[in-house]
Amino acid sequence: MLIKDTNFIDLPVFIKGKVRDVYEVGADKLLMIVTDRISAFDVVFDDLIPDKGCVLNGISEFWFDYCKDIIGNHVITTDVSEYPMGLSKFKEELKGRSMLVKRVKMVEAECIVRGYLEGSGLKDYKSTGEISGIKLPEGLKQADKLPEPIFTPSTKASEGHDINVSYEYVKKQIGEKLASTLKEKSITLYKKAEKYALSRGIILADTKFEFGMLDGELVIADEMFTPDSSRFWELADYEPGRAQKSFDKQYLREYLESLDWDKTPPAPKLPQEVIEKTRAKYIEAYERITGKKFTA
């Protein structure tokens, strides 16, 4: 089933993002639904990518479980028949694309780990030789692997893009003990996932985590190692010194670059072929990562 919006859910909206719709389920739980919407260059398209919501949700679910020896997570269940408040009647709409999670107190830091040089990290390195106050060796090229994964937090800007901050800044904001736990957990999670992804032919170049507190304990919330929160590259095509192709969205981006579109709304209508190829790439990402056949 294709899901564009989730207005059929009669619960208070917690947040509607570009791709996900989140609802309040009582005072202590949230229902996170991943729709089939797609965004590129920060613009949400009118067209949907069939199965994309299930792919993203499934990838997150896989990683929450794979990493549970390192840290607990916010997931209660992904089985719609166990959802409360009459939600289980939306089994067809919600199955595979949603999670019932514990509502946690989010820690005010976006925990980014970078194992490779790209994005805002590359930009900072080029101008200062550092990222988030961490000195890096000279002469690194775009997309090079870093000597060690680094923790480069940012803060959520309510408007526009997040702002990179130093680890020292995070320490001041949330306290030294919590900051050091976040850093340690983030790097441990990244190392474990990066190693696993490599074994499946995918480079996990960098990622962003969001942690929360639940009954005095730190847990991982939001989403985990999805193409929306991480950079995935095809190992077989990896070649430092240039931009790498994004595993999931490259095809769409290249198509959009070929148009005469200024990347501001409204988004152009997508041809069927572009929708199909993008869908296939998402499904491939799911299958490569989880090792399971995707079933809609």
What residue ranges bind ligand ATP (CB under 6 A)?
15, 17-20, 22, 30, 74, 101-104, 106, 210, 212, 221-222
For helices 176-199 and 52-66, angle between their N-to-C axes, nearest 10 degrees:
110
* Cα(82)–Cα(62) distance, integer angstroms: 19
**Alpha carbons within 13 A on the beta-carbon side of 255:** 17
Q: What sign results for the dihedral spanned by CA atoms 174, 180, 186, 189?
A: negative
Residue 52: what are its φ and ψ, rounded to 5°? -60, -40
Least Å distance between CB 18 and ligand ATP? Answer: 3
Check: CB of residue 83 under 8 Å from CB of residue 144. Answer: no
Least Å distance between CB 259 and ligand ATP? Answer: 23
Nearer to ligand ATP, 158 or 258 (CB): 158
Structure tokens at 38: 């797609």
Least Å distance between CB 231 and ligand ATP? Answer: 15
Least Å distance between CB 75 and ligand ATP? Answer: 9
* Cα(114)–Cα(121) distance, integer angstroms: 8
Give the residue at shortest CB distance from ligand ATP.
Answer: 17
Least Å distance between CB 103 and ligand ATP? Answer: 4
Nearer to ligand ATP, 18 or 172 (CB): 18
Nearer to ligand ATP, 55 or 143 (CB): 55
Going by C-beta distance under 8 Å and a sequence separation of 6 or more, which residues neighbour residue 277? Answer: 251
Nearer to ligand ATP, 104 or 117 (CB): 104
